Amino acid sequence: MPSTDIDERLWNRCFLALAPAASDARRIARLAAMAAPQDAHRLAAVDLHITLAFFGRIAPAAGHALAAVLQHLADAPLMLDMSGLACWPDPRRPRVLVAEFTASPALLALLAQVHGHMRALGLPIEQRPYRPHVTLARFPYRRAGAAQPAPVPMLQACRFDALALYTSLAPTPVQRYRPLAQAHLRGPLAH
Protein backbone atom coordinates (compact mmCIF):
# COMPACT_ATOMS: atom_id res chain seq x y z
CA MET A 1 0.00 0.00 0.00
CA PRO A 2 1.44 3.41 -0.85
CA SER A 3 2.03 6.01 1.80
CA THR A 4 -0.83 8.49 2.19
CA ASP A 5 1.66 11.35 1.98
CA ILE A 6 2.64 10.73 -1.66
CA ASP A 7 3.14 14.02 -3.44
CA GLU A 8 0.01 14.88 -5.47
CA ARG A 9 2.14 15.34 -8.63
CA LEU A 10 3.13 11.65 -8.59
CA TRP A 11 -0.40 10.56 -9.56
CA ASN A 12 -0.06 12.19 -13.00
CA ARG A 13 1.35 9.42 -15.23
CA CYS A 14 0.51 6.14 -13.54
CA PHE A 15 0.48 2.60 -14.85
CA LEU A 16 0.29 -0.98 -13.59
CA ALA A 17 3.09 -3.27 -14.75
CA LEU A 18 4.98 -6.51 -14.26
CA ALA A 19 8.63 -6.14 -13.31
CA PRO A 20 11.21 -8.76 -14.26
CA ALA A 21 13.30 -10.53 -11.64
CA ALA A 22 16.61 -8.69 -11.13
CA SER A 23 18.65 -11.30 -13.01
CA ASP A 24 16.25 -11.20 -15.97
CA ALA A 25 16.17 -7.39 -15.93
CA ARG A 26 19.95 -7.53 -16.37
CA ARG A 27 19.59 -10.05 -19.23
CA ILE A 28 17.04 -7.81 -20.96
CA ALA A 29 19.26 -4.74 -20.42
CA ARG A 30 22.23 -6.58 -21.98
CA LEU A 31 20.06 -7.47 -24.95
CA ALA A 32 19.08 -3.79 -25.30
CA ALA A 33 22.75 -2.80 -25.29
CA MET A 34 23.40 -5.20 -28.18
CA ALA A 35 20.25 -4.42 -30.18
CA ALA A 36 19.68 -0.67 -29.82
CA PRO A 37 21.05 1.71 -32.45
CA GLN A 38 23.68 4.09 -31.07
CA ASP A 39 21.41 7.14 -31.03
CA ALA A 40 18.77 5.39 -28.91
CA HIS A 41 18.58 6.11 -25.17
CA ARG A 42 18.45 2.75 -23.40
CA LEU A 43 16.34 2.32 -20.29
CA ALA A 44 18.05 1.28 -17.07
CA ALA A 45 17.44 -2.29 -15.88
CA VAL A 46 15.44 -0.94 -12.91
CA ASP A 47 12.94 0.66 -15.35
CA LEU A 48 12.20 -2.41 -17.47
CA HIS A 49 8.61 -3.67 -17.23
CA ILE A 50 5.61 -5.03 -19.13
CA THR A 51 2.71 -2.60 -18.83
CA LEU A 52 -0.64 -4.17 -18.03
CA ALA A 53 -2.64 -0.93 -17.92
CA PHE A 54 -1.82 2.75 -18.41
CA PHE A 55 -3.95 5.15 -16.38
CA GLY A 56 -2.39 8.56 -16.90
CA ARG A 57 -3.59 10.94 -14.20
CA ILE A 58 -5.58 9.23 -11.48
CA ALA A 59 -7.14 10.53 -8.30
CA PRO A 60 -5.13 9.65 -5.19
CA ALA A 61 -8.12 7.67 -3.86
CA ALA A 62 -8.13 5.49 -7.01
CA GLY A 63 -4.37 5.05 -6.69
CA HIS A 64 -4.70 3.87 -3.12
CA ALA A 65 -7.53 1.51 -4.11
CA LEU A 66 -5.37 0.05 -6.90
CA ALA A 67 -2.49 -0.38 -4.47
CA ALA A 68 -4.79 -2.23 -2.09
CA VAL A 69 -5.74 -4.83 -4.73
CA LEU A 70 -2.14 -5.55 -5.78
CA GLN A 71 -1.81 -8.27 -3.14
CA HIS A 72 -5.01 -9.91 -4.40
CA LEU A 73 -3.73 -9.86 -7.98
CA ALA A 74 -0.26 -11.05 -6.99
CA ASP A 75 -0.28 -14.78 -7.53
CA ALA A 76 2.46 -16.74 -9.25
CA PRO A 77 5.53 -15.37 -11.03
CA LEU A 78 5.17 -15.46 -14.80
CA MET A 79 7.66 -17.03 -17.18
CA LEU A 80 7.38 -15.26 -20.52
CA ASP A 81 9.20 -15.82 -23.79
CA MET A 82 10.42 -13.01 -25.98
CA SER A 83 8.98 -13.25 -29.49
CA GLY A 84 10.84 -10.48 -31.31
CA LEU A 85 12.30 -6.99 -31.43
CA ALA A 86 10.53 -4.09 -33.10
CA CYS A 87 10.73 -0.35 -33.60
CA TRP A 88 7.37 1.20 -32.75
CA PRO A 89 5.18 2.69 -34.00
CA ASP A 90 6.91 2.33 -37.37
CA PRO A 91 10.53 1.43 -38.25
CA ARG A 92 10.59 4.37 -40.69
CA ARG A 93 9.79 6.86 -37.90
CA PRO A 94 10.57 5.01 -34.67
CA ARG A 95 9.93 6.33 -31.20
CA VAL A 96 10.86 3.23 -29.17
CA LEU A 97 12.67 -0.09 -29.49
CA VAL A 98 10.72 -2.87 -27.79
CA ALA A 99 11.18 -6.53 -26.94
CA GLU A 100 7.87 -8.20 -27.75
CA PHE A 101 6.71 -11.05 -25.51
CA THR A 102 4.27 -13.89 -26.08
CA ALA A 103 0.86 -13.34 -24.49
CA SER A 104 0.71 -16.53 -22.41
CA PRO A 105 -2.58 -17.80 -20.93
CA ALA A 106 -1.36 -16.84 -17.43
CA LEU A 107 -0.54 -13.29 -18.57
CA LEU A 108 -3.94 -12.90 -20.25
CA ALA A 109 -5.69 -14.23 -17.12
CA LEU A 110 -3.85 -11.65 -14.99
CA LEU A 111 -4.79 -8.91 -17.47
CA ALA A 112 -8.47 -9.95 -17.24
CA GLN A 113 -8.27 -9.67 -13.43
CA VAL A 114 -6.67 -6.22 -13.71
CA HIS A 115 -9.44 -5.10 -16.08
CA GLY A 116 -12.08 -6.33 -13.63
CA HIS A 117 -10.61 -4.20 -10.85
CA MET A 118 -10.29 -1.23 -13.20
CA ARG A 119 -13.98 -1.49 -14.11
CA ALA A 120 -14.90 -1.66 -10.41
CA LEU A 121 -12.91 1.55 -9.81
CA GLY A 122 -14.39 3.31 -12.85
CA LEU A 123 -11.03 3.46 -14.65
CA PRO A 124 -11.02 3.32 -18.46
CA ILE A 125 -9.70 0.23 -20.23
CA GLU A 126 -7.67 0.68 -23.38
CA GLN A 127 -9.50 -0.63 -26.44
CA ARG A 128 -6.46 -1.46 -28.58
CA PRO A 129 -5.36 -5.11 -28.68
CA TYR A 130 -2.93 -5.94 -25.88
CA ARG A 131 0.67 -6.30 -27.08
CA PRO A 132 2.96 -7.36 -24.21
CA HIS A 133 6.36 -5.73 -24.55
CA VAL A 134 9.29 -4.25 -22.67
CA THR A 135 10.48 -0.86 -23.90
CA LEU A 136 14.24 -1.19 -24.28
CA ALA A 137 15.19 2.23 -25.66
CA ARG A 138 13.74 5.54 -26.80
CA PHE A 139 14.81 7.31 -29.96
CA PRO A 140 15.59 11.04 -30.05
CA TYR A 141 12.57 13.23 -30.73
CA ARG A 142 12.14 13.84 -34.47
CA ARG A 143 14.79 11.27 -35.34
CA ALA A 144 15.53 11.32 -39.05
CA GLY A 145 15.44 8.01 -40.88
CA ALA A 146 14.50 4.44 -40.29
CA ALA A 147 15.87 2.21 -37.55
CA GLN A 148 16.44 -1.51 -37.30
CA PRO A 149 17.54 -3.35 -34.17
CA ALA A 150 20.71 -5.39 -34.47
CA PRO A 151 20.01 -9.13 -34.73
CA VAL A 152 20.20 -10.75 -31.31
CA PRO A 153 19.04 -14.09 -29.91
CA MET A 154 15.55 -14.06 -28.41
CA LEU A 155 15.36 -14.49 -24.65
CA GLN A 156 13.37 -17.44 -23.39
CA ALA A 157 11.85 -17.99 -19.97
CA CYS A 158 12.10 -14.46 -18.54
CA ARG A 159 10.76 -14.43 -15.01
CA PHE A 160 8.46 -11.55 -14.02
CA ASP A 161 8.08 -11.64 -10.25
CA ALA A 162 6.58 -8.32 -9.15
CA LEU A 163 3.42 -6.38 -9.88
CA ALA A 164 3.66 -2.64 -9.29
CA LEU A 165 1.78 0.61 -9.60
CA TYR A 166 4.31 3.01 -11.13
CA THR A 167 4.53 6.70 -11.85
CA SER A 168 6.72 8.37 -14.45
CA LEU A 169 9.47 10.66 -13.20
CA ALA A 170 11.50 13.26 -15.03
CA PRO A 171 13.91 10.97 -16.94
CA THR A 172 17.40 10.56 -15.49
CA PRO A 173 20.21 8.20 -16.50
CA VAL A 174 19.49 6.21 -13.33
CA GLN A 175 15.70 5.89 -13.12
CA ARG A 176 12.65 6.89 -15.19
CA TYR A 177 9.83 5.22 -13.21
CA ARG A 178 9.06 4.95 -9.50
CA PRO A 179 6.93 2.24 -7.90
CA LEU A 180 4.23 3.76 -5.70
CA ALA A 181 3.12 0.31 -4.51
CA GLN A 182 4.45 -3.18 -5.24
CA ALA A 183 3.51 -6.81 -4.60
CA HIS A 184 5.87 -9.72 -5.13
CA LEU A 185 4.51 -12.69 -7.03
CA ARG A 186 4.98 -15.91 -5.09
CA GLY A 187 4.04 -19.50 -5.61
CA PRO A 188 4.66 -21.94 -8.44
CA LEU A 189 5.61 -20.49 -11.81
CA ALA A 190 2.86 -19.77 -14.33
CA HIS A 191 3.41 -19.85 -18.08
Give the catalytic positions in this structure.
49, 133
How far is Cα of residue 136 from the mean position of the Cα atoms in its chain? 10
Residues 6+ apart with CB under 8 A from 161: 19, 20, 21, 77, 78, 184, 185
